[in-house]
Amino acid sequence: MAFPLVLVRQRWICLWLILLTAGISVVGGLLVGKTFRGGTVDFQVVYFGTRCLIQHHDPYKLTDLQGSYQEAQEISPLVPVVPHNLVCPFDYLPTSLLIIAPFALLPWETARALWMILLAGSLILAALLMWKLRRATRPA
């Protein structure tokens, strides 16, 4: 009867290892995001591109995109300061604008925090689903 107990213990150990490694990844990502002013550069591009579109400008034109950054910096000092020659061109598909639109309606810090929470939650959910799938297909 010790055999099922060992399996249960192994499952709990695996679950805790998954949660520990996901937690380390999340904390590491947050620390890296804090070392750069503004952090999350990939989110910045699509966020400000979407804000540019909401303001009825073309996010694919670099001058319009720079204007979106400058306007946001005037409103809030928390927005990352990006020199005009370092603004990344918006090269995402137009459908990404629809996905980010709810975030672009929020202030920068709020949108960035929600985006990080969504990414961390997605990472943990994916790890747990893989663990559950592996547990279901493991041979007895």
Q: Reduce the secondary structure of the chain to three states and give it as a string.
A: CHHHHHHHHHHHHHHHHHHHHHHHHHHHHHHHHHHCCCCCHHHHHHHHHHHHHHCCCCCCCHHHHHHHHHHHHHHCCCCCCCCCCCCCCCCCCCHHHHHHHHHHCCCHHHHHHHHHHHHHHHHHHHHHHHHHHHHHHCCC
Q: Give the domain ranges of the chain.
A: 40-118
pTM tops 0.85: no
Per-residue pLDDT of the chain (140 residues; tens, 9 = 90+): 455 666 667 778 877 888 888 888 878 877 776 666 556 677 888 888 898 889 898 888 888 888 887 787 776 666 665 655 556 777 888 888 889 999 999 988 888 888 888 988 888 888 888 878 876 676 65
